[in-house]
Amino acid sequence: SDEPLAEPVEAEPVEAEPFGEEPADDFSLDEGFDVGELAGDEFTAEEPAAEDDGAEGFSFDDETFSFDDESDAEAAVPEAGVSVSEEPIDQDDIFGIPEGGEEIQADEQAAADEPILADEVEDLSGIEDDAGELGAFEFTDDDAGAETPSPPDESFSFDEPMVPGEEQPASEFGDMPDVSDGDGDLEELDTSGIDEFSLGDFGEEFGVIGDEVPSTEEDLNPALSVPETAPGAPALPAGELQISETEFESLQTTVATLPLNLKREVEEIITEAKGTNDQVEDLVRRLAARESPADIATVAGKILGKQIRIPRGYEKHTGLEFEAERQGFAYQFRENILPILRLVAIFAIALVILGLAGYHLVFRPLRGRSLYREGIALIAEDQYTLGNQTFERARKVWPANSWFYTYAEAFITERQYTLAGEKYEQLLFGMSDGERDHFNGLLNDGKYSSILSVRELEKQGILDYADLESDVLGNFVRADRLLQLILVQDVADYDGRLALGDNFMRWAETEPAKYEDARVAYARLMERYGQTDELLFRMLRYFVRTDNLGEVLTLKKFFQQDERLDIEPDAYAEMAGYLIDNNLLADIEPVLLRAWDTDPSIPEIHYNLARYYRLINADGEEESALSNARRLLEAANPLTSTLRGILVDTITRIGENYYDAEWFMEAQEAFGEAIEVYEEGLRRRVLSADPMYGRAYARLADIHYYIGRQYDDALRYFNDAEENGYDEPNLDYKQGFILYRNGQLETALGEFREVATDPSGTTNALLWATGNTYFRRRNYFAAEAYYRELLERVELQRDNIRTLLVDEAPLHQSVVEYLIRVNNNLGVTLNRLSEGDAGNPDLYSTALIYLTQSIEYSENYRRDPYTLARGSAVNLAYLNQRGILYPTPEYSLQIYNGLPEDLDDLVF
């Protein structure tokens, strides 16, 4: 419509106050200019910058200038009737919005949404005003100095817009160059006085009633140049909106403080008449009421049908407010002191965090590790108490359960098994003695659930502790109780039940009934997990120790047929030892060599090889195998009860080889070492009496018995050997021999009787020794019986010798000697019996007969082998015979008192 929207209101000219002392042509930005309005808070990630192919664009139609009261520059106000250049305007230099109703192109819209940077203003070259376009205006030389008066009560009507080109009052700023003709250069403008964009004297269009409005605000506000009818713009409903001057000032302030993107949308709504009149009125009222940008954005968004984003952290002030605020303590504190304090605080917090992190994550672990290692070093130096104290210090610095295992292993290496067990107890039951005593009491009472309800126990710690108690200390009951802590939680736990079976196997060495418990434990595992190789090797051990030869041979055949099977070398070595015990030597070497190929560090392999080589008389190989076995056994840690026993026998065998080689000093030393290892095992209760261990005492006694003739020492070691399970007929005989020499006839007789209980011990020497003992005890009837039995045996042996070679065959010589001595002793015994039984003359004559036979054997077999001359020594039987026939008080009948040193001695 061509009718005006409102009645024009004449404005009374009002003198504009000068903005500063500087000339108008020096149009520069002062320090109070609010750059944040142009490219500050609105320039956020939510408003991406648009790239421009040419000169940087700048639009006055979307922005208004607001001049601060303290600005140094004067506002330039365009005059009416200023000529407009008809030259075509480059698209990059357009400063107005498109013709009313036309859509902004995509790239122009992107540029419009871009916050305008201050440096973009410097590239503006010229402005051409198109009379047909809404909001286009220009600066000219005449306008620069024009002063525009403001009516005291100015109002604006939508029905009566201002017409561009209307003559305006002259400004006191003087003439300004015309920038519309292209000769002016915006780069020369001093914009120091510009504080921010605003709607200026936009109140003329709203009919603001007031005395005066600065002309500079009117001229710089594009809304003042709205044509009567915007081409293509939808017409607003008829009606007027009247607002007061106060409301208009509030509106200006609100619009000036809006974010750039929201300000453009608001100006677009008002200048282009977007939405209904009620919607525009509502928006104006909200602006005048200084509602928050968020509320304004909501209303504007509903009018435009899109969402308008408020930049995060947006804050807007005018230049004067900013200057006033900047001079205040709060601003100075916020802008100058607070950043430093913030930086210091951040730095301090970072230092504290780094310090705490360094202390807890670096210093404490390193310090704790250092102390733990220091304790291990002290243990290696036998300073066990200091080592434990250092452990406690280290644990206070940095608790780490893994060091319990390390310390326990260190104590085991030093053979300090009690201290090792203490470390496992501390791991499981706590560092406090009271705690450990309490939980040990519960453990001994079998209250496993009570322990588990208050303590979270490490499974590996239980297994290691139980293994120490079972395999090293031989405390099988405690090991069983410890393992129940695992099985109470899971009755089918593989590791727990396997360890339980192994404990029963060791326990059965002293209580054979436990073998059945071991079998049950392994059988349950087989039911659940199948016949694994590990379980089959456990069963092989079970069959070996229960002497089930058939099952052992079956499993041996099964294992030997599968050459790819990964065997357990220790189980193979134990099987080989069992086969040696049963004298099944055919497959011993292949079995042991396969175990050796698997793991040559197993000491049992070398030990059983030594046993095998002794049986086949391979002395050199036996010596090498024994040396390897001893080296590996002494290095073994922990030294289990089984390995300790093998070590005792290994050293004993080494001593026996020394003895056979007549290296008696080395043999005595070796036997002493074997006894020491064995007695340590007894003290630790990991070994018990066994003939294999007692043999070391017997061999040491032999050195004193045969070599040193130290019969008392020999008797002591013989007794020790017997107490430790080593008992054989020859040992009893030698004990009787020493007792006989010492005059302990009754005790000696007991030893000889014990020898007689073994059929292999009934030899000529035993009969001779027993007869002599009875004779010396004046039990002549018993002596007669033994002498007669011995004489019969010797005569039978003599009859079995077809050619008697006394000087060549020891057996032949032994027969002759027994014939001479037995006949003499028997004759004397019968003579003593005849003295007690005077009524039996046969005893007297028979005594003379046996004496005569002794004389005859002596004269015939004791001649010189070369000259056949009789010996110079007088035969004892001859003297006894003379004593009977010609008795004298000075002479009593004598027997041969000497005894053979061994049961098997032929000549003595």
Quote the tokens at residue 340.
């430093």
In order of their start, the domains of the chain are 35-229 (no CATH), 749-908 (1.25.40)
Q: Residue 319 has what pLDDT?
A: 56
Cis peptide before 841 (omega within 30 of 0): no
How far apart, in Å, do the first and last CA atoms of the chain sit? 161
CA 381 remoteness from chain centre: 28
pLDDT digits (tens, 9 = 90+) for 318-344: 556 666 767 788 878 878 888 898 889
With tokens 């376009």, the residue in question is 133
Which residues of the chain have a pLDDT value below 70?
Answer: 1-240, 312-323, 325, 837-839, 864-873
Q: Residue 120 has what pLDDT?
A: 38
- Phi-psi bin for 273: left (phi > 0), alpha (psi -120 to 50), beta? left
Q: Residue 328 has what pLDDT?
A: 80
Closest by Cα among 178, 205, 55, 167 to 122: 55
Q: Count of CB atoms within 10 A of residue 238's CB? A: 12
∠ CA 798-804-809, nearest 5°, is 100
Q: Residue 320 has what pLDDT?
A: 60
pLDDT digits (tens, 9 = 90+) for 715-764: 999 999 999 999 999 999 999 999 999 999 999 999 999 999 998 888 99
Contacts of 324 (CB under 8 A, 6+ apart): none
β-strand partners of 209? 244
β-strand partners of 536? none
Q: Residue 847 has what pLDDT?
A: 92
Burial 52-88 (b: 16+ CB within 10 A, else e): eeeebbbbbbbbbbbbbebbbbbbbbbbbebebbeee
pLDDT digits (tens, 9 = 90+) for 412-445: 989 898 999 999 999 999 999 999 999 999 999 9
Q: Residue 782 has what pLDDT?
A: 95
Closest by Cα among 133, 131, 214, 211 to 166: 131
Assess contact for 450 and 442: CB atoms under 8 A. Answer: yes
Residue 128 backbone phi and psi in degrees, to 5: -120, 125
Q: Residue 447 has what pLDDT?
A: 93
How many angstroms separate the CA atoms of 280 and 261, rounded? 18
